């Protein structure tokens, strides 16, 4: 049976995945981390948790966050980010520019890539940098 909470994909399987597939998964990984952070830090009342979550996971916020991460990424992580960022979006939400949306997609691809490798410590390191200013 596959343990979907503790995945450790090898390099060849990771390279075969699409950037949008990585971003799709990374979007949920990032959102779970944000939701956990909000609940554990008491940053929002229960009735405001959804609105607070959206504030952090929206493309403009993710695009701003990735700017703080770029200098900290390894070459391989930066390559995954660029691969995700350079994927042509099918559509762009009204609340974000094309550049913001692409940067957010790159961040999500990176989070999906790290998750699939079981690199939760690195995910937590990068997430701490993102949330340090919150």
Whether 25 is covered by a domain: the verdict is: yes
For residues 17 and 12, give the distance between their C-alpha atoms in angstroms, rounded to a whole number.
9
For residues 62 and 82, give the distance between their C-alpha atoms in angstroms, rounded to a whole number.
14
Question: What is the pLDDT, as a whole number, of residue 28?
Answer: 97
For residues 28 and 23, give the distance between their C-alpha atoms in angstroms, rounded to a whole number.
9
Crossing angle of helices 59-69 and 98-116, rounded to 10°: 60
Ranges of the chain with pLDDT below 50: none
Whether 4 is covered by a domain: the verdict is: no
Whether 80 is covered by a domain: the verdict is: yes
Domain region containing 91: 11-131
Question: What is the pLDDT, as a whole number, of residue 6?
Answer: 84
Whether 33 is covered by a domain: the verdict is: yes
Whether 2 is covered by a domain: the verdict is: no
pTM summary value: 0.91
The 3-state secondary structure of 11-51, one letter per residue: HHHHHHCCHHHHHHHHHHHHHHHHHHHHHHHCCCCHHHHHH
* Torsion angle of the four alpha carbons 22, 25, 61, 63, in this order, in degrees rounded to the nearest 10: 0
Question: What is the pLDDT, as a whole number, of residue 95?
Answer: 79
Q: What is the DSSP letter of 6?
A: S
Is 27 among the catalytic positions? yes
Question: What is the pLDDT, as a whole number, of residue 19?
Answer: 92
Q: What is the pLDDT of residues 52-81, one digit of tens each?
A: 999 999 999 999 999 999 999 999 999 999
- The count of domains in the chain is 1
The enclosing domain of 66 has a CATH number of: 1.10.1520.10
Whether 3 is covered by a domain: the verdict is: no
Of 10, 12, 27, 48, the catalytic one is 27
Question: What is the pLDDT, as a whole number, of residue 7?
Answer: 84
Please enumerate in sequence order all residues whose Cβ is within 8 A of that of 14, keeping only pairs 6 or more positions apart, or say none.
113, 116, 117
């Amino acid at each position: 049976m596959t343990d979907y909470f503790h995945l450790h994909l090898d390099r060849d399987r990771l390279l075969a995945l699409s950037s949008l597939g990585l971003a799709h998964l990374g979007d949920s990984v990032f959102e779970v981390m944000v939701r956990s952070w909000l609940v554990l830090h008491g940053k929002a009342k229960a009735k405001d948790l959804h609105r607070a979550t959206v504030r952090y996971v929206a493309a403009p916020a993710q695009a701003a966050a990735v700017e703080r991460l770029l200098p900290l990424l390894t070459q391989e992580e930066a390559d995954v980010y660029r691969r995700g960022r350079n994927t042509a979006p099918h559509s762009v939400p009204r609340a974000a520019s094309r550049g913001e949306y692409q940067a957010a997609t790159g961040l999500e691809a990176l989070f999906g890539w790290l998750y699939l490798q079981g690199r939760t410590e690195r995910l937590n390191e990068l997430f701490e940098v993102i949330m340090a200013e919150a």
